[in-house]
Copies of this chain bind each other. A is one copy, B any other.
Amino acid sequence: MRELVRAYQAFASYDADGYRDSELTVPQADVLFTLGNTDGLSFKEIGEKTLITKGTLTGVIDRMEQKKLVKRRVCTEDRRITYVALTKQGERLFEKVFPQQVDYIKQRFDRLSKSELKDIGQALTKLHEIFI
């Protein structure tokens, strides 16, 4: 448990440094990365994936919309649902920041051997399962 927290803190701190100059807050980067390579997701789906509650998410999306990174689109079949998708500008930012971020993180994972990476992947999957 301690180790999980420590490992994640170290990772999260390193990770946040990666997109520090992108003008994104942590939740905003989370949303950007969640929306990347999709045609748009509903508020509900985004909330489930990022663990941001709906009231908060409205504000986060508002600010990203002001920055022209995302766009709302009401679902025509069920008008209660609002989809959020990246704009062209949002996609450009995603395509710039995401690979950078992956590389940045990969630098550290490259310090490990293939078998270590496999073990870590399995360990994390088990951890994930027990805490769902």
- CB within 8 Å of B: which residues of A? 1, 3-4, 6-14, 51, 102, 105, 108-109, 111-112, 116, 119-128, 130-132
Of B4, B111, B132, the residue contacting A124 (CB under 8 A) is B4
Contacts of A127 in B (CB 8 A): 7, 10-11, 120
- Complex copy number for this chain: 2
Q: Is the interface of A mostly helix, strand, loop or mixed?
A: helix
CB distance from A6 to the nearest CB of B (A): 5
**A10: shortest Cβ distance to chain B, in Å?**
4
Q: Quick check: A14 and B131 within 8 Å, CB to CB?
A: yes
Report the Cα distance A128→B13, complex, angstroms: 11
CB-contact partner of A126 in B102, B112, B131, under 8 A:
B112
Q: Are A119 and B121 in contact (CB under 8 A)?
A: no
Q: State the Cβ distance, A3 to closest chain B Cβ, in Å.
A: 4
A8 to B12, CA, bound (A): 10
CB distance from A24 to the nearest CB of B (A): 16
CB nearest neighbor in B for A123: B123
Between A1, A9, A121, the greatest number of chain B beta carbons within 10 A of the residue's beta carbon is seen for: A1
B130 A126 Cβ-Cβ under 8 A: no
Are A126 and B132 also in contact (CB < 8 A) when A9-B51, A11-B4, A51-B13 are? no
